[in-house]
């Protein structure tokens, strides 16, 4: 009987310590170091402007044909390993439909980061729905911002190859300059606020 009482006391003490341990774990993850810098996650559009973005200190991971869901997994992995910089620029949606849930998952997988979602220009049926998903997603979060590539590029056919969405040299420079300018503008406004 005495052994049973002792076991009960030990179990009760262990249970009493659980909230403190969970709180300490939550505090540790909340205080995880978020690297400074700018990281771009994208498809062939971003990949083509890699050199121009590097001049603006944006490191990228972009791949031809990349889908939004693949980019989401990469962002999650980098964030979990504390290797995802504070400012994340995402250009995905050129190669297929983007689901609203995936955009929400992207944002939640990158806590303590500012997410810059780029609208897409691609002559496919998913262009407008994807741009709507991007705009709606940004409207739901204070730390998500839109880079309006579709709007800015609409009057510049001279920025594109013959397929009307892959970038030529002038387009690559304009794309990189837009990203730099929009990110810098947001960061300046946040410092003032």
pLDDT per residue, tens digit, the chain (193 aa), is 555 555 444 444 444 544 444 444 444 444 568 899 999 999 999 999 999 999 999 999 999 999 999 999 999 999 999 999 999 999 999 999 999 999 999 999 999 999 999 999 999 999 999 999 999 999 999 999 999 999 999 999 999 999 999 999 999 999 999 999 999 999 999 888 5
H/E segment holding residue 88: strand 87-91
Between CA 184 and CA 190, with CA 187 as vertex, the angle to 5 degrees is 150
Phi–psi pair at 116, nearest 5 degrees: -115, 110
H/E segment holding residue 50: helix 50-55
- Look at residue 14 in the predicted model and tell me its pLDDT: 47
Per the structure block, which two tokens stand in for 114? 């500012």
* Residue in the block written with tokens 């990158």: 110
- Look at residue 48 in the predicted model and tell me its pLDDT: 97
Sign of CA dihedral 71, 138, 34, 22: negative
Per the structure block, which two tokens stand in for 155? 């009057």
Answer whether 94's CB lies under 8 Å from 126's CB.
no
Answer whether 145's CB lies under 8 Å from 186's CB.
yes
Tell me how far apart the alpha carbons of residues 128 and 107 are, in angstroms, rounded to a whole number.
21
Per the structure block, which two tokens stand in for 84? 């995802």
- Look at residue 20 in the predicted model and tell me its pLDDT: 46
Domains of the chain by residue range: 37-192
Q: Quick one: which of 74, 138, 133 has its CA closest to 109?
A: 74
Q: What is the pTM of this model?
A: 0.82
Residue 150 CB: number of other CB atoms within 10 A?
Answer: 18
Per the structure block, which two tokens stand in for 184? 């810098």
Instruction: Say which CATH architecture domain 37-192 belongs to.
Output: 3-Layer(aba) Sandwich (3.40)
């Amino acid at each position: 009987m005495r052994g049973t009482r002792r076991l009960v006391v030990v179990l009760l003490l262990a249970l009493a310590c659980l909230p403190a341990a969970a709180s300490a774990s939550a505090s540790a993850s909340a205080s995880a170091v978020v690297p400074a810098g700018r990281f771009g996650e994208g498809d062939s559009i971003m990949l083509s402007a890699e050199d121009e973005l590097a001049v603006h200190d944006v490191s990228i991971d972009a791949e031809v044909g990349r889908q939004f869901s693949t980019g989401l997994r990469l962002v999650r992995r980098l964030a979990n390993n504390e290797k995802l910089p504070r400012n994340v620029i995402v250009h995905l949606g050129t190669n297929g439909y983007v689901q609203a849930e995936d955009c929400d998952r992207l944002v939640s997988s990158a806590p303590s980061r500012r997410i810059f979602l780029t609208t897409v220009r691609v002559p496919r049926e998913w262009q407008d729905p994807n741009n709507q998903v991007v705009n709606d997603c940004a409207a739901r979060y204070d730390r998500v911002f839109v880079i309006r590539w579709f709007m800015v590029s609409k009057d510049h056919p001279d920025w594109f190859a013959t397929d009307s969405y892959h970038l030529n040299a002038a387009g690559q420079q304009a794309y990189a300059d837009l990203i730099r300018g929009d990110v810098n503008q947001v960061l300046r406004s946040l410092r003032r606020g």
